[in-house]
């Protein structure tokens, strides 16, 4: 347990130092972690919906899955907000790593 705490504190410090040395790069890297899966999943989802519609198995309305669309929207919003600087994930992760609880 003590090694885990040491690892988390050192990771939090490293993240903070990285953000302070290059804030734009940290925003770009973290937003990319959300935007790449978004575009890959969106492409696969659209391709599957077109295939199903072309085969005539389901209508377009039935092939739309709300859970997938919500997940894609969350990925997109996190990526865009991180890129714009609205959400600072480095600070959030650093706070989470150093949180000791009650």
Contact 15, 98 (CB under 8 A): no
d(CA 33, CA 37): 7
β strands within 1-102, DSSP E: none
pLDDT digits (tens, 9 = 90+) for 58-96: 666 666 778 888 999 999 999 999 999 999 999 998 998
79, 34 in Cβ contact below 8 A? Answer: yes
Predicted structure pTM score: 0.75
User: Could you give the CA distance from residue 40 to residue 48 in angstroms, rounded to a whole number?
Assistant: 12
């Amino acid at each position: 347990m003590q090694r885990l705490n040491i690892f988390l504190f050192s990771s939090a410090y490293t993240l903070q130092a990285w953000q302070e040395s290059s804030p734009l790069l940290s925003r770009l890297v973290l937003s990319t972690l959300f935007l790449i899966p978004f575009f890959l999943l969106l492409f696969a989802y659209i391709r599957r919906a077109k295939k199903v519609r072309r085969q005539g198995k389901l209508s377009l309305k039935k092939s739309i899955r709300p859970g997938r669309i919500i997940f894609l929207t969350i990925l997109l919003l996190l990526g865009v907000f991180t890129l714009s600087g609205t959400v600072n994930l480095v600070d959030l992760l650093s706070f989470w790593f150093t949180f000791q609880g009650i």
